[in-house]
Amino acid sequence: MGRQFGAAVLRSYEGRFAIEQVTVNAGPAVDEVLVRIAGCGMCRTDLAVRRSAGRSPLPAVLGHEGAGVVVETGGPDTRLAVGDHVVLSFDSCGYCRSCLGGAPAYCDSFAELNLFGGREKSAARFADAAGTPLAPRWFGQSSFAEYAMVLARNAVRVDPALPVELLGPLGCGFLTGAGAVLNTFGAGPGDTVAVLGAGAVGLAAIMAAAAAGSVVVAVDQHSDRLATAERFGAVALYPAADLAERIRRLTDGGVQYALDTTASPELINTALRALRPTGHLGLVARLHTPLALEPGTLDRGRKLSHICEGDAVPGLLIPRLTGLWQAGRFPFDQLIRTYPLDEINEAEHDCETGLVVKPVLIPRT
């Protein structure tokens, strides 16, 4: 039997979100759970649908940083129970070589499942009030809504004492930044880390590096973002012609690790020049122009790689991050501003213009 609920529907790539009544036309399958959404972060990947050149299907319910409470399960094989508090993360197939190897962010079907059409069996699960099918689940969630039907393997149980309405960004944006530092780099005490771009992903990386005992340098052109980075323990620098040299002076010859969240070819080359020998630069933002590397930037063992979803297994990293938050060492809640779900267009404006680091949408349930 179907369930009706409110959701933010995007019907055109240039249009505004509209709150509509939608229907999920069946209960959970044996590997699924139905979650009442308590809060959902807005990520720039959600907004990038507008620039997908039609590859991400519409009309759709977006949202992929959901968190909430399980209200129905498909059975005991989900290993979740009604009343469990969960954080939702990205989708993956579970059986390709990457998934079996503990690297679900590099799933062979990642783009298909999360961005461009989803699983065939879920293609017709969602419909609008007129009965017209909506696009398949976005990132396996479609959590800009009062409820989300998700695969149990993508739902991470968390301590019910935590503020579940604020936890959603731990499933993607904060996971990506923190995971790059803790998983990909394995940064620890005494290591040096530069973070270029102090948005949601960059600030999560800064907090994680500080929690790991590393020396952190933050680069951003906005004074308020740099002030936030300093509050979390970073040395703040504005971009300038001598940026690489300033970073090297501050870090006794260069940083061991650098994370670029800007996709700026100029800053990427700057970060490479700021690396010490054998240093590692990770990229998390999608490049929109060709990347020309300056001569010598990869000399002496330096390397460059792209990092997806913080190289995370969500079921392992999310509890680690909530534990750091409970210990006062990962204060991600200070980056969040909440909005009612029906103010989603205002939240998008504030996110795009930099007025807020991480909007979190709260359904009225």
Do 114 and 68 share a structural domain? yes
Do 355 and 230 share a structural domain? no
Smallest CA-to-CA distance from 285 within 180, 136, 141, 161 is with: 180
Residue 234 lies in a domain: yes
Residue 119 pLDDT: 65
The DSSP 8-state label assigned to residue 20 in this structure reads E
Residues of the chain short of pLDDT 70, as ranges, are: 1, 117-124, 365
CATH number of the structural domain spanning residue 254: 3.40.50.720
Do 164 and 223 share a structural domain? no
Do 186 and 262 share a structural domain? yes
Do 339 and 294 share a structural domain? no
Do 289 and 162 share a structural domain? no
Residue 121 pLDDT: 61
Residue 219 lies in a domain: yes
Domains identified in the chain, total number: 2
Residue 74 CB coordination number (10 Å): 18
Residue 12 pLDDT: 94
Strand (E) or helix (H) holding 225: helix 223-231
Kindly report, residue by residue over 36-59, the tens digit of the pLDDT: 999 999 998 999 899 887 788 899
Tokens of 249: 């002076």
- C-beta separation of 342 from 190 below 8 A: no
Residue 298 CB coordination number (10 Å): 14
